[in-house]
Structure 1
Amino acid sequence: MTPLRALGIAIAVSGAVFLYFGLNASDAPLEQASEALTGSYSNHTLWYIAGGLGAMIAGISLALPTRR
């Protein structure tokens, strides 16, 4: 396994963890009440979800084999 592939896997796993925490935070009662009043999630929750998705996409693209 190349170091770049290992780095990609590590980034994808950390992105999955951030996505999990973001989705878990969006189900919290206070977040649900805030979303009901304002119509959107808090910035903290959105950063977790967006950052997790971005890290997963970047990590998977690094971990995939490249053509030579």
Structure 2
Amino acid sequence: MNNKIIGIVLIIVGVALAMWGYDVYDSASAQLSRTFDGDTPIEAWAGMAGGVICVLVGIMKVK
């Protein structure tokens, strides 16, 4: 029972983290940075990748 609660929390946190990473990726400053430098902010990649990892770990805990 305790692992399921942890899994559900990880899924919720992972989705929120991935959404935050996408918001950073889609922000105006990130778009300008990609236009001139070709670089994507590391916060965007860290948020999206961390979110996906949290969701996957959460799914494994719920099963």
TM-score (norm 1): 0.84
1:31-50 CA-partner distances (Å, limit 9, x unpaired):
01112223331111110111
Q: Distance in 1 between matches of 2:60 and 2:39?
A: 30
State, as a whole percentage, how many aligned pairs show the same letter: 21
Alignment of 1:1-68 (within 5 A): 2-64=1-63
Decide which structure has the larger Cα Rg and report it.
1
Alignment root-mean-square deviation, CA? 1.0
Q: Which runs of 4+ in 1 moved over 4 A?
A: none
TM-score, length-scaled by structure 2: 0.90
Extract unaligned runs of 5+ from structure 2: none
Q: Gaps (5+ residues) in structure 1?
A: none
Tell me by how many angstroms 1:63 deviates.
0.8
- The residue type paired with residue 21 of structure 1 is W
Relative to its length, the structure with more helix (as a share) is 2
Instruction: Say which SS state the counterpart of residue 39 (structure 1) adopts.
Output: coil
